[in-house]
Amino acid sequence: MSDFGPDLDLIRAAALDAGALALAERAKGVSVRSKPGGSPVTSADYAVDALLKDLLLSARPDYGWLSEETADTPDRLEKRRIFVVDPIDGTVAFMKDRPWWCIPIAVVEDGQIVAAVVHAPMLNETYVATRGGGAFLNGRPIQASSTYDLEGAGVLASAQIFRDLYWPEPWPPLRFENRNALAYRLSLVASGLFDAAVAFTPRWDWDVAAGALIAAEAGAIVTDHHGEPWRFNRPDPRQPGMVCSTAALHPLIIARTRHIPLGN
């Protein structure tokens, strides 16, 4: 295993602990409020955030920190390695006792993801990857699908955006499904269950960092919708859009999406 192995072991153990805490918090009842912009956040999100921050920064006090539920500071920009965390990705599914939520944790070094875990507690699924070390689901290697034809491809996205936007080149028939958590969508592409996951508006680093490495190590291609690669730990912690797909489908999708303006 690469020298990223110790970090992977750390974040995997932390994700499992965080999943157990999230389930326990929901079992006893959570409070809910709306954040600016209207998205919900629960008391469990904050409890998991506090647990992860304590576990991870106690073990790696020299690392930076970026989390959805912690106020961002510029200190992380001075760090070579940082943790990127979403305490509960898919809060709406979590609140409704649906399984499509997860806990994604990534380690970023010099702008690139080097270790990642996406843990879905209700599904008993734990996806992991290290840079150059492959991607795994519950200890078994995974690989993106070999789909090369857009027609009939399985795409994780809202079908509505494909109806609402103007497309100079029409799309062939696609099979659309959705999942609440972006990190889980990327992991499903990595496992070969779906062929692509797309989004045409900015996505926060904590939503996509962990899943991006898992998908890439499984052989998928992950870029913005103009085909440009992502970099992390920037002052604005967002990516301008997302196309994650099999290697064969990626240029076919980008050819249709590059006319959409970048959101950042």
- 45-63 tens-digit pLDDT: 999 999 999 999 999 999 9
In a domain, 92, yes or no: yes
Residue 240 lies in a domain: yes
Domain match, 73 and 28 both: yes
Q: 108-118 as b/e, with b when 16 or more CB fall inside 10 Å?
A: bbeeebbbbbb
pLDDT at position 2, please? 57
Flag residues of the chain having pLDDT under 50: 1
Q: What is the pLDDT of residue 221?
A: 98
Task: From 88, 117, 141, give the residue that closes a domain.
Answer: 141
pLDDT value at position 1? 41
Domain holding 52, by residue range, is: 5-141
User: Is 208 within 8 Å of 189 (Cβ atoms)?
Assistant: no
Provide the edge-to-edge strand list for the sheet that holds 154-156: 175-177, 154-156, 196-199, 242-245, 221-223
In a domain, 149, yes or no: no
Instruction: Indicate the pTM of the whole model.
Output: 0.96
- pLDDT of 264 reads 54
Assess if residue 148 is contained within a domain: no
